[in-house]
Amino acid sequence: NESILGFGSLKDFNHVDMLYVHHNHLGEGIAHTLYLAIENEAKQQHQTILTSDVSKTALPFFEKMGFSIITPQTVVRQGVELINYKMKKVLS
């Protein structure tokens, strides 16, 4: 079976733009593997900080990956206000 279980993207070499795992495969380490590939690419591009706009659901994962909250944000999607978090991680 060749199903896509997740995907991630790095924007402008320093912003984790998307990181998604299919709900049937949460807890299998897929997000962690994808994130490490994204971070490695940022490091190869000589970046020293990663940022992301993180949902409430993804917040614990990003904190576990070493990100810290810069500020909460309110975004509007299809007329609905949602809270997310601008986060950053200093790369070593």
Domains of the chain: 6-90 (3.40.630.30)
Q: What is the pLDDT of residue 50?
A: 99
Q: Give the mean pLDDT per block of 10 residues along the chain (92 residues).
A: 92 97 95 98 98 96 98 95 97 92
Cβ–Cβ < 8 Å for 85, 71 = yes
Q: What is the pLDDT of residue 2?
A: 86
Cβ–Cβ < 8 Å for 87, 64 = no
Measured from the Cβ of residue 50, the count of other Cβ atoms closer than 10 Å reads 24
